[in-house]
Amino acid sequence: PSREKTLYNLDRMLVAGTVPGDSSDGVLLGEILAKELGLKIGDELFVVGMTSYGGLGPGLYHVTGLVRSGIRALDRKTFFVPLPAAQEQLAMEDRAMQIACRVRQGRQHAEEAAARIQRVLDEAGFSGVAAVPWNRVGLMGRFQGVWRMMFFILAGLLMVLALGTVANTVLMAVMERTREIGALRALGFQRGFVVRMIVMETVVIGLLGIVVGLIIGIGVGLLLQHTGIDFTKAMAGTDFPMKPIIYPHPSVSTAVWAFVFGLLITLLAAWFPARSASRMQPARALRAYH
């Protein structure tokens, strides 16, 4: 537990009692697990596990503290015991089944760190040991993949909706100005000028909308970064491996991508109505509303 404090932030998760020492027989229980078992601090917990030899290994522990991670799946299934006590119960001697590492640069560099650790292990001859990043372990990896797929699908639908909305708006504006466009063509202005005029006008309006949207979006994101978005009621009774309160983290890269995609959608949406308008016959356009 002494090293687990830095890896899992046990001090922050602790809601009652204390973290057991390395040489004690104490156990930290998830808050929901303790409630379901009817245990409180000071009670005894009898645990039976499979030893390294395939037999049953009993262990008796005393509840020293309760932890709350905010993730229901963990709080109802997780408990922490000192490593020496677990090794003795499971006949592991000085061995371990897995070692958890925390990357100093942040969890987004976990895959790079895992690859470097794997190279070191292979060079040292530990062929049976695998270094795996956190997002590829158990349900978390599958959940990450599903979440990423849902995000791209939603983003794609929003882009199509935005493209259709802007294109429809530009098309309506072009139809209302049919006579003006016909007059420009009759005065000798080329099709390219008409296309550029409509596209530039749409881009200016689009840029204004993008900037206003970014300001509002970043402002709301910064506010929610402190308050969070609470999905506690929506996630009640589920065991998703995530906290019920999500905290957005606005970044410069996200804002840049939003700006680029917004500008690209504006250009695409303006191009087709502008191209259609440039092909109008001047005489027919001038008679449009007579």
What would the pLDDT profile of 131-187 be if each residue is shown by its tens digit? 888 777 766 666 777 777 888 898 889 888 888 888 888 888 777 777 777 777 777
Q: Give the lowest-confidence range in 1-5, 15-19, 93-97, 152-156.
A: 1-5
- What span, in angstroms and rounded, lies between the C-alpha atoms of 51 and 33? 23
pLDDT class for 123, splitting at 50, 70, 90?
confident
Q: What was the pLDDT predicted at 216?
A: 92
CA-based R_g, the chain, Å: 31
**Average of pLDDT values for 223-240?**
73
Q: Read off the pLDDT of residues 245-257 as tens digits, 9 standing for 90 and up.
A: 778 888 888 889 8
What pLDDT, on the 0 to 100 scale, is given for residue 212?
93
Backbone angles phi, psi at 137, to 5 degrees: -100, 125
- To the question of pTM greater than 0.85 for the whole model, the response is no
More confident position, 165 or 238: 165
pLDDT tens for 56-101 read: 888 889 898 898 887 777 788 888 888 888 888 888 888 877 787 7
- Give the residue, 88 or 284, on which the prediction is more confident: 88
Nearest to 266 by CA among 201, 174, 215, 213: 201
The mean pLDDT value of the chain amounts to: 81
Residue ranges per structural domain of the chain = 4-97, 104-136, 139-286
Span between the terminal Cα atoms of the chain, in Å:
85
Q: What percent of the chain has pLDDT over 90?
A: 3
pLDDT confidence band for 22 (50 / 70 / 90): confident
Higher pLDDT, 12 or 149: 149
Which CA distances in Å does 259 have to 17, 69, 74? 50, 36, 39
Of the candidates 236, 275, 273, 230, the residue with the CA atom closest to the CA atom of residue 248: 230
From 143, 134, 71, 139, select the one nearest 107 (Cα to Cα). 134
Structural tokens at position 83 = 């490593």
